[in-house]
Structure 1
Amino acid sequence: MIMPFRFFHAFVLLGCLVANASHAPRVSADDRPNILFIFSDDHAPHAIGAYDGWLKSVDPTPNIDQLAKQGIVFRNSFCTNSICGPSRAVIQTGKHSHKNGFMNNGNSFDWNQQTFPKLLQKAGYTTAIYGKSHLKGEPQGYDDWKVLPGQGLYYNPDMITPEGRKRIEGHCTDVVTDLAVEWLKQGRTEDKPFMLMVQHKAPHRNWMPAPRHLDLYADIDLPEPNTLFDKWHDNAPPARHQELEIDRHMHLNFDLFVDLTPDFKGNELVGRYDKSAWRNMQRMTPEQLKTWFAAYRPRDKAFHEADLTADALVRWKYQRYAKNYLRCVKGVDESVGTLMETLDELGLSDNTVVIYSSDQGFYIGDHGWYDKRWMYEESLKMPLIVKWPGVTKPGSTDEHLVQNLDYAETFLEMAGADVPDDMQGESLVPLLKGDSPDDWRRSIYYHYYEYPSVHMVPRQYGVRNHRYKLIRFYQFDEWEFYDLKNDPDELTNQYNNPEYANQISDMKQELDRLRKHYQDDSDVSVLPEEKQIELRTPQAAG
């Protein structure tokens, strides 16, 4: 009696699948992998050992490096818009900023639009997100969620939940990790595949490490980037008007914590400095403050006694900043280790795709800067490491041009779900399998919109292929062109070099093609000359 029932059940099930083919996954639930997406904020690839950057010597990411040994490292992974919220909106939708409506951090994401988590839910996945959303509003497409309000705080953060706003004691990276582990152990629907997004605040400004990491790197000097004292004055006019230099713009109190206390009274009204570190200290517990002051007060005393100026002061600021940045990275790396151990403990490792990425790159003293936003390499590149057991070759690398535009399509194909025609990226599944499609993209498109704003990085769009990069700062009608093979640090703008005339012409044609292909009809007009002058005066930037 058992065999006929099974045949009958299979026949009925087949009929249901045919009748609902447009909504059904193309593979059975048992074959579909779980997806664990670990996402940090402002984590530059050159601060990951697996990317062989100049910070590799201090072994900043052993757990992420181990993940890389188990999977594939994408060497040419780029963002479409190098800033926090827009990068996340692109990942949610598989569409460029001008299409998903979230073009800068001042926008609000339309959660009613199509997103890949909603499509995964329809395909039978259970979904959750914990940590930094930065898209405003309550997330849709998740069976469970707890997200930071805005940027959130490092210490004892508030979390917005379906039940309301809650304060959770601890360091934010640990809080987010614990929420994810709890959901894996107790919250998910065990008879369904899952998609879990673990999105860390770290290592975003103001780089406030967990108490256990405050003394990390205290007894060494970190290596300096070769371009720490590059001023960009001759070749790149837009770069002369920015406000993200370690020298002139990194604040001793609010960014580097010198003499900072919860009742700090000095300079707190400086207009455009981010004062979240000061506000965060007001939320610390007495024990947290005790540990904090034990670490920083002796260093502050030594700093005052040294009475540094000029290049020596820049070097000190760089060391203080970079160490705090990497201390925050250490917490993220430990989170990766904890999550991987949890998968092992629960017997989920063999059928779970693990992705590590970050919303964009970041300047860690490169060219004397911090922050991101530019189409230059340090902020354009984003890490992407994927472990897919049985699919990705352990310890492999990929050189294809990929973007965060491709993540949604990739997750959907992994899940056997249909990829909507209006998504603008390409599934990375063929690349994860080791294939090299002949029709893979030969160039990427970039567009940054947030100007005038913090750091005063002008609006720009551009195109990059494997060798060349063309950028237009359209409000000022300024162009830059770089030969990345001969000038990987982008130190010499070759736009007016006649030897590159043919390549520049080709790149302009490609830029026009991509704008049409992605249907980017946003305003790229040149500002009136008087407005240009106004924006580029010190008064306008203050």
Structure 2
Amino acid sequence: MARHHHSSPQEDRPNIVLILTDDHAAHAVSAYGSAVNSTPRIDEIAETGALLENCFCTNSICAPSRASILTGTYSHVHGVTTLKTPIDAGQPTFITQLRDAGYRTAIFGKWHLGHGEGHDPEGFDQWEVLIDQGRYVDPEFLTVDGMITRPGYATDVITTQALNWVESLESEAPWCVLIHHKAPHRSWFPDEAHAGMYADPIPVPETLFDGKNDWPTRSEAARHQAMTIADHLYPVDLKVDPPEHLSGDELTLWKYQRYMEDYLACIASVDDNVGRVTDWLRERGDFENTLLMYTSDQGFFLGDHGWYDKRFMYDESIRMPFVLSLPRQIEAGQRHAGIVTNVDIAQSVLEAVGVASHPRMQGRSFWRDITQGTPEPSPDGFYYRYYENDDPIHHAFAHYGYRTDRYKLIYFYNDGLGLPGSGTETFTPEWEMYDLLTDREEVHNVAHDPEYRDVRADLEVRMWRSQRALGDTPHPSQPVPAGLAHDERGE
């Protein structure tokens, strides 16, 4: 059960900065042990505050994750299940709770939750957002007064607009600004200052050359997808035609290098702009009393299993980087290993500043895990659901699952249920399960291994109970777990 907190008067309530990027994998952050790049200014936030080692999204795709961060609810509650389902912007969010408590609020950058009446940002004193993905160069923004084009590189422009808004504030009331970058989303266009900085060979993941024959135990979902570096990155992504003499693994390696050069250069620009925000806070004397957070809406495959993109419940796709600082309350240099999800962020922000969360919010605040106080028990696992089935571009199958600190159970129910963004065909359901202690790359599916029969049965019960507790509806094809008590079976 979520705990809901009550407002308490504070003479000096913290300001709030949430920097949210798009598709920044945790394994491309040096504080998380990246082997491919360095992110010193993002790392600085962790060094002066805390790093969440196991922060996960509950639906690994942009719009649903952003809606969960704002509302503190799962996709089936806030209604943004796919990229084609816009948000009802009038629903409660942590922003509306802050504004009701006297905070000035604003968002600059990527919104990606629909546009038009009922879908534009609500609860913000100021908003200036990209239309859909937006452009990397000379981006166009939708504002309450209409469209405006701002010259420059999107990451720089979004940061500048956010800082300018805070500078324009006249009263002493606390403020909250969301800085939502487009980067490092596909098609990965670096700015001039960082283009080419990763020209040297970039380390290759162990599973880059995984092939269909290397997955004898995995479900059809791994074979049906269309997100491979070898076959599904195109000249528009790579910015240049591949050399004609390359083929096979050599061509895949060349594409990986081109993709990663630009992806990492976009992150370098983000990192510099994170530093701009930190330096600006220090210059204003606000750093000590500002809740400064950096995260991304989901993870991303960086050649893992030969893939790019996200969607699947494998860890590279669902693990979010999340670092935060508030020196007056958070002891520096912490690493929190407990399970946290994007649904937990709203309540955690509100608890940090002493503002009541909304009774509708789900999840659990992690605030007392990293500050003085008595936290609630950490969850033993979390529920995940991806709704788009056989989408026309990446062809990922719909699935849900349950992950603990050691095990992961996935049910590919493979049915779009008529939701926008899904194909019309359904496929035979399949199960996957992974022992993350012995198989961190998630390549050996043990769902049908007799040695794991009891573990799987336990995970099926945990997943069913989680679905019931959260109010989600299992797919009709999912068998009722045999281990449920009679009053839990719903028969």
Q: TM-score, normalised by structure 1?
A: 0.81
Question: Could you say which residue in structure 2 is the equivalent of 1:362?
Answer: 300
Question: Could you say which residue in structure 2 is the equivalent of 1:326?
Answer: 264
Q: 1:400 to 1:414 in 2, by over 3 A?
A: same
Question: Could you say which residue in structure 2 is the equivalent of 1:146?
Answer: 128
Question: Could you say which residue in structure 1 is the equivalent of 2:330?
Answer: 392
Question: Could you say which residue in structure 2 is the equivalent of 1:216?
Answer: 197
Q: SS at 1:363's partner residue?
A: coil
Q: Where in structure 2 are the equivalents of 1:100-111 lying within 5 Å?
A: 100-111=78-89
Cα deviations across residues 232-254 of structure 1 (Å, max 9, x unaligned)?
A: 53121210100000011111x11
CA contact (8 A) 1:393 1:434 kept: no
- Aligned-pair CA distance for 1:217: 1.4
For 2:33 and 2:9, how far apart are their aligned partners in 1?
38
- Aligned-pair CA distance for 1:415: 2.3
CA contact (8 A) 1:112 1:140 kept: yes
Question: Could you say which residue in structure 2 is the equivalent of 1:115?
Answer: 93
Q: 1:377 to 1:147 in 2, by over 3 A?
A: same
> Is 1:380 the counterpart of 2:301 in the alignment?
no
Number of residues of Structure 1 aligned to a counterpart in Structure 2: 454
Q: Out of 330, 347, 367, which is 1:429 matched to?
A: 367
For 1:381 and 1:436, how far apart are their aligned partners in 2?
26
Question: Could you say which residue in structure 2 is the equivalent of 1:65?
Answer: 43
Letter in 2 for 1:310: G
Question: Could you say which residue in structure 1 is the equivalent of 2:106?
Answer: 128
Letter in 1 for 2:312: W
For 1:434 and 1:134, how far apart are their aligned partners in 2?
36
For 2:159 and 2:102, how far apart are their aligned partners in 1?
25
CA contact (8 A) 2:447 2:456 kept: yes
For 1:49 and 1:355, how far apart are their aligned partners in 2?
16
For 1:41 and 1:349, how far apart are their aligned partners in 2?
25
For 2:373 and 2:476, how far apart are their aligned partners in 1?
37
> Is 1:478 the counterpart of 2:427 in the alignment?
no
For 1:194 and 1:523, how far apart are their aligned partners in 2?
43
- Aligned-pair CA distance for 1:214: 1.4
Question: Could you say which residue in structure 1 is the equivalent of 2:466?
Answer: 514
For 1:420 and 1:318, how far apart are their aligned partners in 2?
44
For 2:378 and 2:196, how far apart are their aligned partners in 1?
46
CA contact (8 A) 1:54 1:225 kept: no
Question: Could you say which residue in structure 1 is the equivalent of 2:348?
Answer: 410
For 1:149 and 1:355, how far apart are their aligned partners in 2?
24
Question: Could you say which residue in structure 1 is the equivalent of 2:208?
Answer: 228
Letter in 2 for 1:322: M
> Is 1:99 the counterpart of 2:77 in the alignment?
yes
Deviates more, 1:388-397 or 1:33-42: 388-397
Q: Where in structure 2 are the equivalents of 1:487-526 lying within 5 Å?
A: 487-521=439-473, 523=475, 525=477
Letter in 2 for 1:368: G
Letter in 2 for 1:510: R
CA contact (8 A) 2:97 2:358 kept: no
Q: Where in structure 2 are the equivalents of 1:223-372 lying within 5 Å?
A: 223-232=203-212, 233-237=215-219, 238-251=221-234, 253-258=235-240, 304=243, 307-372=245-310
Q: SS at 1:214's partner residue?
A: coil
Letter in 1 for 2:91: Q
Cα deviations across residues 512-537 of structure 1 (Å, max 9, x unaligned)?
A: 010001000264548xxxxxxxxxxx
For 1:406 and 1:478, how far apart are their aligned partners in 2?
29
Question: Could you say which residue in structure 2 is the equivalent of 1:534?
Answer: none
Q: 1:118 to 1:257 in 2, by over 3 A?
A: same
For 2:309 and 2:401, how far apart are their aligned partners in 1?
19
Q: 1:215 to 1:514 in 2, by over 3 A?
A: same
> Is 1:460 the counterpart of 2:460 in the alignment?
no
CA contact (8 A) 1:123 1:415 kept: no
Q: SS at 1:496's partner residue?
A: coil
- Aligned-pair CA distance for 1:411: 1.5
For 1:152 and 1:444, how far apart are their aligned partners in 2?
32
Q: SS at 1:456's partner residue?
A: coil
Letter in 2 for 1:234: P
CA contact (8 A) 1:70 1:394 kept: yes
Q: Out of 83, 87, 97, which is 2:65 matched to?
A: 87
Q: 1:69 to 1:461 in 2, by over 3 A?
A: same
- Aligned-pair CA distance for 1:392: 1.7
Q: Where in structure 2 are the equivalents of 1:39-78 lying within 5 Å?
A: 39-55=20-36, 58-59=37-38, 61-78=39-56
Cα deviations across residues 119-148 of structure 1 (Å, max 9, x unaligned)?
A: 110011000100001011320011111000
Residue identity (%): 42
Q: Which runs of 5+ in 1 are unaligned?
A: 1-21, 260-302, 527-542
Question: Could you say which residue in structure 1 is the equivalent of 2:175?
Answer: 194
Letter in 1 for 2:33: D
For 2:193 and 2:376, how far apart are their aligned partners in 1?
49
Q: 1:24 to 1:246 in 2, by over 3 A?
A: closer
Q: 1:226 to 1:257 in 2, by over 3 A?
A: same
- Aligned-pair CA distance for 1:24: 8.1
Q: SS at 1:212's partner residue?
A: coil
Cα deviations across residues 302-321 of structure 1 (Å, max 9, x unaligned)?
A: x53x6211111000000000
- Aligned-pair CA distance for 1:169: 1.0
Q: SS at 1:145's partner residue?
A: strand
CA contact (8 A) 1:185 1:346 kept: no
CA contact (8 A) 1:23 1:122 kept: no
Bigger CA radius of gyration: 1
Q: SS at 1:455's partner residue?
A: coil
Q: TM-score, normalised by structure 2?
A: 0.90
CA contact (8 A) 1:98 1:522 kept: no
Letter in 1 for 2:401: G
Q: 1:24 to 1:460 in 2, by over 3 A?
A: closer
Q: 1:307 to 1:524 in 2, by over 3 A?
A: farther
Q: Which runs of 5+ in 2 are unaligned?
A: 415-427, 479-491
Q: CA RMSD in A?
A: 1.7
- Aligned-pair CA distance for 1:496: 0.9
